[in-house]
Amino acid sequence: MAKLKLTSAFCRDVTCPPHKRKEVYRCTEVIGFGLEVRASGKTYWLYYTKPDGKAAQVKIGGSSDIPFDVAKRTAKELRSKVVLGGNPAEDKAIRKGTITFKELAQMHIEHAKGHIRSHGCVEMSYRKYLVPEFGRLRIDEVMPHAIETHFAKLRARLAPASVDRLRLVMNRGYRLAKGWGLPGSDRNPVEAVARPKYDNKRTCLLSPEQVKRLLGECGKSENTMLKPIVQFALATAARKREILDARFEHVNFDRAEWLIPHTKNGHPRTVPLSEAAMAVVKALPRKEGCEWMFTNPSTGKHYITIKRAWKTATEAAGLPGMHTHDLRHAAIGAMVSNNVSLHVAGKIAGHLRPESTARYAAVADSTLAAAVEAGARNLNLMGKAA
């Protein structure tokens, strides 16, 4: 090993002595900066002492790939980390073992398949919106500002709640990575991304006339199951997926009850069926060997979606922009407006938290107001003749 001031010209012209396998030249200007010369090529290194007192070295790069000035500047930066107690070689090893965001996405998707029913949403979030933007980066290279910028672009074409769902999926991925002890997962960049403020709570109320128009258009649909699906939704306040996955075996005809074994919150629930709901069930066509209540005639299986038929019917009924989930809101609102308590309505709907049903408090308040007005009129409190 020789010590001298390394220069660009020296590093360009020096060759490996013919009687040696290699020669190392250490710079006297930048402590630890060195050039290793072999017959096969030249490599810049930083030689240093680790915090535990042991010697270490970290490769900066080949002289044919990195200009001398860049190598020298990099050596200074690495040296400053050493002075502050860092270990560049260990850091490099960690970076080398750090997976890409695309690899983390695949691990998260596989985990979701075994733990949540809505794993399709996780897969779609990564495939359409997250991996195309961050997939090639290591997980420790994804920065909060880059996430903020990407989400800002997506808000131009997605609803705020949809963008926030992407934030939640991404955050969950990093939390899993940390729980698994993956290299590079000690920092979660999503935690520094501000959650947008938005209100996507809907309390859609339908008048009897609107229901009549909607059912009339549903009855005209090419999808012959659309009308009974909508009727059943309005009669039970169930979620769309719960209805489309409904099976005859879960209906107790004697007690007029419907068991929903798989719900969004993971808790099975039993829904009492009104006369209207039972009428819908009894009128459904039943084919031997078919377990589904609302069977798609073209496939013989349950429906995956009714989006196209629903859009056509709602627009024809003068209710454009109405969501299928609004049927659930309308059913809950109808119960509350007919003096059903928020607690009971929430239990029928399968709400685990009172806050989920609290949005219908305004409906309950208007019902109470109408009740006291009716009582006052009955008592002739205004002094008018009966």
300 in Cβ contact with 290 (< 8 Å): yes
Cβ count within 10 A of residue 152 = 11
In a domain, 282, yes or no: yes
In a domain, 266, yes or no: yes
CATH of the domain at 136: 1.10.150.130
In this prediction, residue 267 carries a pLDDT of 81
Local confidence band at 169 (pLDDT 50, 70, 90 cut-offs):
very high
Total of domains in the chain: 3
Is the model's pLDDT at 212 over the cut of 60?
A: yes
Smallest CA-to-CA distance from 352 within 237, 260, 268 is with 268
Assigned token pair, 353: 């938290």
Is the model's pLDDT at 362 over the cut of 90?
A: no
Mention every residue, 6+ apart, whose C-beta is less than 8 A from residue 119. 109, 112, 113
Smallest CA-to-CA distance from 247 within 293, 281, 186 is with 293
- Over its C-alpha atoms, the chain yields an Rg (Å, rounded) of 33
Same domain as 369, residue 223: yes
- Domain of residue 233 covers 208-373
185 in Cβ contact with 174 (< 8 Å): yes
Is the model's pLDDT at 368 over the cut of 60?
A: no
Placement of tokens 């044919």 in the chain: 64
173 in Cβ contact with 192 (< 8 Å): no
Placement of tokens 């001298």 in the chain: 4
Same domain as 238, residue 340: yes
260-298 pLDDT, tens digit per residue, is 998 877 788 898 999 999 999 999 998 888 899 999 988
Domain end: 141, 162, 192, which one?
192
Domain end: 67, 96, 125, which one?
96
**123 or 376: whose pLDDT is higher?**
123
Same domain as 135, residue 279: no
Is the model's pLDDT at 386 over the cut of 60?
A: no
Residue 147's SS3 state is helix
Is the model's pLDDT at 77 over the cut of 60?
A: yes
Is the model's pLDDT at 81 over the cut of 80?
A: yes
Same domain as 279, residue 147: no
Same domain as 188, residue 110: yes
